[in-house]
Amino acid sequence: MTTTLTLIQPDDWHIHLRDGDALATTVPHAAGSFNRVICMPNLVPPVKTTEQAIAYRERILDALMASDLAQARKDAFDPRMVLYLTDHTTSDDIRAAVASGVVSAVKLYPAGATTNSADGVTDIKGRYSVFETMQEIGLPLLVHGEVTHSDIDIFDREKRFLDDVLSDIISHFPSLKVVCEHITTSDAADFVLAQADNVAATITPQHLLFNRNHLLVGGVKPHYYCLPILKRQSHQQRLLQVATSGNPKFFLGTDSAPHATHTKESACGCAGCYSAVHALPLYAAAFEQMNALDKLENFASVFGANFYGLPVNTSTITLIKQAQTIPTSYTYLGDKTLTPLLAGTDIDWQVVSQ
């Protein structure tokens, strides 16, 4: 039985760090496990331009330097920026982003699909000139894959997006690099498998470990609430299969998304699971469940880097199979708290060194 697991240092290809005072909490948590992190741009206001992306990256690095990890991680932690695609994004914006060397991707949020997505795209076909430029220069399109029509059941919105929207984008731009972010269904897994190698997907720890029963049975549990929402157990099992299959189309993206506790535990709780600190132990638990711990390193540390055309990290991180209790909360935004996924419960793995 495996009791020690040493991996190439992983990257998180989908994380929310937020901004301002939140960075004092989220940046050290992310830097504790990951080298490169793809930072989602749905701030208030969103990161729409290269200048805003550069400024945001500087704020993230300032937060790292103000933390206890400053000396250990200052040369290793590499926040990668993403532009928020809007109805007004131009091809010139894309070229400027690539020229900066700071922006690694563009994020498509259908307007109203998730947290801070009000500025998202309302006319996807109107963005085709932007997609053409991205295809030409090799900049990936990261997709929050849900339609937002009020008449479409929330559990069906991912499949409808694949069928009605993404299939059309890919047919028009067959060489465009696309990441289907935080996929949640067997439909999405099979869709990605059916595409060429330029189409990939990230998978979160919550969608590997939980299904909608965890969210709803015995009362609504707000800290399991995320978007896209947890689906049936059969979808969870399919995600486990593809994540642990060794297929390079699937790689790690936590979608760790902080919200102050009082905004999660409210009459209209925010969507998002906060997992940054314990993401690697959670992934280890999922892969161990499938007798596939030998597949975790490629999923966490190799496949994403290869897809983005970046070198694989040379440092390592070690986990041991030893129980730890996840804290009930962290200090957040100065005088508030942040409740992590599985707060107060024991998990079987923990990070011991990097």
Any known ligand binding at 291?
A: no
Residue 248, number of CB atoms within 10 A of its CB: 15
Any known ligand binding at 107?
A: yes
Any known ligand binding at 223?
A: no
Any known ligand binding at 207?
A: no
Any known ligand binding at 160?
A: no
The closest of 98, 195, 189 to 145, measured between CA atoms, is 189
Any known ligand binding at 232?
A: no
CA dist., res. 204 & res. 226, Å (int): 11
Q: Dihedrals φ, ψ of 49, to 5°?
A: -125, 165
The closest of 254, 262, 242 to 26, measured between CA atoms, is 254
CA dist., res. 330 & res. 26, Å (int): 10
Q: How far is CA 229 from CA 139, 226, 280, 339, in A?
A: 28, 5, 21, 18
Any known ligand binding at 227?
A: yes
Positions marked catalytic: 255
Any known ligand binding at 151?
A: no
Token readout for 216 is 């709803």
Any known ligand binding at 278?
A: no
Token readout for 170 is 């890919």
Any known ligand binding at 144?
A: yes
List beta partners, residue 317: 7
Token readout for 232 is 């049936």
The closest of 42, 40, 32, 39 to 10, measured between CA atoms, is 32
The conformation of residue 121, written as its DSSP 8-state character, comes to: B
Binding residues for Zn(2+): 14, 16, 107, 144, 182, 255
Binding residues: 14, 16-18, 42, 107, 144, 182, 227, 255, 259, 271
Binding residues for substrate: 16-18, 42, 144, 227, 259, 271
